Structure 1
Amino acid sequence: MGGRERGPPRGRGLPPRRLRPRERPALSERVLVVIPAWNEAANLHGVVGELRGARPDDDLLVVDDGSTDGTAELARRLDCRLVELPFHLGYGAAVQAGVKYGLRRGYPVAVTFDGDGQHDPADVEPLIEAVRQGADVALGSRFLSPGAYHGGLFRRAGRRLFSLLLRALTGLRLTDPTSGLKALGPRGQTLFALARFPDRFPDADALVLARRARLALAERPARMRQSHNRHSMHGGGRAVAYTFNMFLSLLVAAAGRESDLRG
């Protein structure tokens, strides 16, 4: 992706976190949480704080997608791992860069977790457990969680359309195929890191490719909260363009070649 990778900074920004009295798990047992972020400085502090409070042993990786509001600098101050893309490439490119980071370092599980505050850290563990039980890709579904925020009428209709289209094209019965909350095992990470899918609207395409690669998929309930960032990756009028473009992209992916499964 052409991004620059940075580990946690030393001696800069906020004071270093206190060392916990217990040892952290070995890398081979740890989880990498990939946080794609585009102009999320207003939300990132809260997202990182919630994740660290709920999952102190996870490694947090912020993938800054060409932000102009200081998102990358805030990630450094928060002592997160950081990948900086050279300019705004899109949500899919940010996710792929983060998954590649984890795959190269041997994390057994990578979780994609949006940087706008809509995901709940409490929903991460059931997804990880699904991967440990054999799923290659586990998705968090707001439609399996009573009382979860489902978005406006247009978004709900779009997700329903994607579910029906995905079922017709692949036989997959998923309730929330556009969910950004996912846990990926080694095979799932390999697919997301190497497959060819659009930079800006990859969600349903990735599931089509996962099906063609015979990966095991699972869904678990997840609570989605409303994002108030109109300039985020999913905000404002981008939702309309996202829906239209992903509909076309899904048709193309379903008719794709075997080479699309390789980088």
Structure 2
Amino acid sequence: MPAARAIIVVPAWNEQLTVGETVREIRAATPDLPVLVVSDGSTDKTADVAREAGALVLELPFNLGVGGAMRAGFRYAVRHGYEAAVQVDADGQHDPNEVPALLEKLSEADLVIGGRFTSKDDTYKVRGPRKWAMVVLSKVLSRLAKTKLTDATSGFKATGGRALPVFAEHYPVEYLGDTIESMVIALRAGCKIVQVPAHMRPRRGGQPSHRPIKSMIYLFRAGFALLLALIRRYDLDQQLLESKSQPSPVKEGVVQ
């Protein structure tokens, strides 16, 4: 089967210290895949550093959050004829060498999650209320997806098939919407979700989006986000869904 055209989307907000090295590493690991950095209202030199590293750059005038940045990336992908998009964070925590494994699985699914916590020797650890939230979310979403998911909040994922046009129109921009709610939307659109093992690395620089002191707040927000996603109605375009009823065939690391 022919390979789908894929693009890597990197949402970035004030990541001038890390985005250049991240883009260079992505290009070295997947030289045939274009890299689009979405500068999410950055006030530093994120856009300039990304361009110098060889990325395409989409600059948003205001900070919309990861969900807003990714929706812009999905729309760029659809409008330019790409059939798959892979999210890689700008802080260097995701390993670009694992991108081909995500793309390969798109031959049988619409959304592929790079899941942490899939092996006992994984060095990425989460404790306290944040861990409790992740466990509960994963169990609920695993039941909805009818497959085992260990990492419902992973930002490392590949989107293709019917999920790509749906996300281009309906990707949520609210807090945690880009992880929890987006999966609920995908499932309601009839998308198939699978998970492959992935490893999380330490940040190259900057500040993490969640600090330990906010773990309890995260627990309540995560629960509320899931509840809201489950009760919210989504106006999904049935004609659009029917036109993308089959997953995109993707070969490892190939772009046409």
TM-score range, shorter chain: 0.7 to 0.9
Q: Which residue pairs with 1:225 in the alignment?
A: 201
Q: 2:122 aligns with which of 148, 152, 157?
A: 148
Q: Which residue pairs with 1:43 in the alignment?
A: 18
Deviation at 1:229, TM superposition (A): 3.8
Please tell me whether the aligned partners of residues 144 and 221 of structure 1 are also in contact (alpha carbons under 8 angstroms): yes
Deviation at 1:196, TM superposition (A): 5.2
Deviation at 1:29, TM superposition (A): 4.2
| 3-state SS in 1 of match to 2:75 | helix
Q: Which residue pairs with 1:12 in the alignment?
A: none
Q: Share of identical aligned residues, percent?
A: 38
Matched, 1:54 2:36: no
Distance 1:255 1:178, change over 3 A: same
Q: Superposition pairs for residues 107-256 of structure 1, below 5 Å?
A: 107-132=82-107, 134-154=108-128, 155-167=130-142, 173-195=148-170, 197-202=172-177, 203-227=179-203, 229-231=205-207, 234-236=209-211, 240=215, 241-256=217-232
Distance in 1 (alpha carbons) for counterparts of 2:142 and 2:4:
34
Distance 1:56 1:167, change over 3 A: closer
Please tell me whether the aligned partners of residues 47 and 115 of structure 1 are also in contact (alpha carbons under 8 angstroms): yes
Distance in 2 (alpha carbons) for counterparts of 1:224 and 1:81:
25
Q: TM-score, structure 2 length as denominator? A: 0.82
Question: Which stretches in structure 2 are left out of the alignment for 5+ residues?
Answer: 241-256
Distance 1:196 1:36, change over 3 A: closer
| 3-state SS in 1 of match to 2:18 | helix
What number of residue pairs does the alignment pair up?
234
Please tell me whether the aligned partners of residues 136 and 186 of structure 1 are also in contact (alpha carbons under 8 angstroms): yes
| 3-state SS in 1 of match to 2:162 | helix
Distance in 2 (alpha carbons) for counterparts of 1:143 and 1:95:
24
Deviation at 1:167, TM superposition (A): 4.2
Distance in 2 (alpha carbons) for counterparts of 1:117 and 1:228:
6
Please tell me whether the aligned partners of residues 110 and 193 of structure 2 are also in contact (alpha carbons under 8 angstroms): yes
Q: Which amino acid aligns with 2:11?
A: P
Residues 33-87 of structure 1 deviation map (CA, whole Å, 9 limit, x = unaligned): 0000011111112211111111101000000111122101111222311111111
Distance in 2 (alpha carbons) for counterparts of 1:167 and 1:218:
10
Distance in 1 (alpha carbons) for counterparts of 2:80 and 2:172:
23
Distance in 1 (alpha carbons) for counterparts of 2:157 and 2:38:
16
The runs of at least 4 aligned residues of structure 1 exceeding 6 Å deviation read: none
- Where relative contact order (Cα < 8 A, 6+ residues apart) is larger, the structure is 2
Please tell me whether the aligned partners of residues 32 and 60 of structure 1 are also in contact (alpha carbons under 8 angstroms): yes
Distance 1:95 1:228, change over 3 A: same
Distance in 1 (alpha carbons) for counterparts of 2:210 and 2:37:
19
* Greater alpha carbon shift after TM alignment, 192-201 vs 175-184: 192-201
Q: Superposition pairs for residues 63-142 of structure 1, below 5 Å?
A: 63-132=38-107, 134-142=108-116
Please tell me whether the aligned partners of residues 68 and 172 of structure 2 are also in contact (alpha carbons under 8 angstroms): no
Question: Which stretches in structure 1 are left out of the alignment for 5+ residues?
Answer: 1-25
Aligned-pair RMSD on alpha carbons?
2.4
Distance 1:103 1:238, change over 3 A: farther
